[in-house]
Amino acid sequence: MKNTVLTFHQQKEEGKKITMLTCYDYSMAKLMDEAGINCLLIGDSLGQVMLGYEDTLSVTMEDMIHHTAAVSRGAKNAFVLADMPFMSYQTSSYDAVVNAGRLMKEGRANGVKLEGGATVVEQIKAIVAAQIPVCAHVGLTPQSVNAFGGFKVQGKSIEKAQQILDDARRVEEAGASMVVLEGIPALLADKISKELTIPTIGIGASNGCDGQVLVYQDMLGMFSDFTPKFVRKFADCGSVMKEAFAGYISEVQNGNFPAKEHTYAIDEEVIAQLK
Ligand code: KIV
Ligand code: NA
C-alpha cells in the first residue's frame, strides 16, 4: 500500500510508529521499499555522506533533483520526501514554490522538507497552497550551522525550549503535514509530539515522537567521519564491505577471479584459425 500524508496521520492516531530513513539512490530505495520503510528522505545530508562536503550548505537544487529522481524510480510504496537545499526557499515564498515544484516535477517527490519554524511560515503556506505536502524541520537545523556556531543540541534553556515549541506550533498552523524534531531534549520532543496533531519524526529527540529517521550510512555503520550520540548501528555493513573488497583484491591478484563459470566460451578451432 502506498504511504501518503493521510496514512501517516492515521499512524499517529493509531499509535503506529512511522519509519523514515534517508535514501539517495535507486538500489537502496528498492531495498528499503521492499523492507517496508514508510518514508524515504532524500536528505541534504547527501552533501556529507554522498558528496564529501563538511556540511549541507553547498548542496544544490540540481543535486537534490538528481538523487530524488533516482530514489523515486525505486520507491513503490514508500513516500518520497525531498529536502529543499540551502537558499532554495529562504529567499522568498516565490522561490520556495518554484523549487518545491521542481522537486515534485523533475524529482517525482511526494512532498518536500524545509528547515525552520516561525521564519519560514510564509514559505510553508505558499508551498501548501500549491498542493505540495510539506514536512517542517525544527530544533537542530543543520543549514543554520553557522548561526548556531556548530552542530549543537538545541532547546536546553527555557527561552530556547519555548522557541522550539512555538516553532512546532507555527509550522502546524501554517499547514505542514509532518515535522522533524532534530537534536532536542527528549522531554521537549515528548511534549511537542503530544501537543501537535501532525506526526513528529525524531532524530536525536525521543521515542515519544510519532516516527524516527536516521541517515542510512550511520545506521548501517558505513560512515566513520563522525558518529553522533543518537545513532544506533543496526549492522556493521562498513566492515562487511571492506572484507568483500579485500576478498576481491586477493582473488584478482592470485588469479582465482574470474573463474571458468564467469567467462564466455568459444570453439577452440576458431582461435586456432586466427592469423
Ligand atoms: O538531511 C537529512 O538527512 C535530514 C535528516 C537527518 C532529518 O534532514
Ligand atoms: Na536535511
Residues 6+ apart with CB under 8 A from 239: 221
Report the C-alpha gap between 255 and 106 in whole angstroms. 46
Res 175: pLDDT: 98
Residue 266 CA, ligand 2 centroid: distance in Å: 53
User: Contact, 53 vs 85, CB < 8 A?
Assistant: no
Pocket test for ligand 1, best of 182, 209, 214, 220 (most atoms within 8 A of CB): 182
Report the C-alpha gap between 141 and 144 in whole angstroms. 6
- What domains can you pick out in the chain, each with its CATH number? 5-236 (3.20.20.60), 240-272 (no CATH)
Res 76: pLDDT: 98
| C-alpha 153 chain-centroid distance | 19
Residue 141 CA, ligand 2 centroid: distance in Å: 8
Nearest CA to ligand 1 atom 1: 43
User: Contact, 85 vs 59, CB < 8 A?
Assistant: yes
Pocket lining for ligand 1, CB < 6 angstroms: 22, 41, 43-45, 83, 180, 182, 203, 213, 215
CA atoms within 13 A on the CB side of 203: 23
Mean pLDDT by 10 residues, the chain (275 residues): 97 98 98 98 98 97 98 98 98 98 98 98 98 98 96 96 98 98 98 98 98 97 87 96 98 97 96 97
Q: What is the DSSP string of 32-53?
A: HHHHT-SEEEE-TTHHHHTT--
Q: What is the pTM of this model?
A: 0.97
Res 226: pLDDT: 79
User: Contact, 60 vs 103, CB < 8 A?
Assistant: no
> 258 vs 246, 248, 251, 254, 264, CA distance in Å?
15, 10, 8, 10, 11
Closest ligand 1 atom, residue 44 Cα: 1
Residue whose grid cell is 516561525:
118
DSSP helix/strand/coil, 182? strand
Closest ligand 1 atom, residue 115 Cα: 8
Nearest CA to 111 among 58, 72, 57? 72
Residue 56 CA, ligand 1 centroid: distance in Å: 10
Which residue numbers belong to the known binding site for 3-methyl-2-oxobutanoate? 44-45, 83, 113
Report the C-alpha gap between 20 and 71 in whole angstroms. 14
State the ipTM, two decimals.
0.99
User: Contact, 61 vs 88, CB < 8 A?
Assistant: yes
Which residue numbers belong to the known binding site? 44-45, 83, 113, 115
Report the C-alpha gap between 217 and 201 in whole angstroms. 18
Residue 45 CA, ligand 2 centroid: distance in Å: 5
Degrees to nearest 5, angle at CA 162 with 159 and 167: 125
Residues annotated as catalytic are: 182
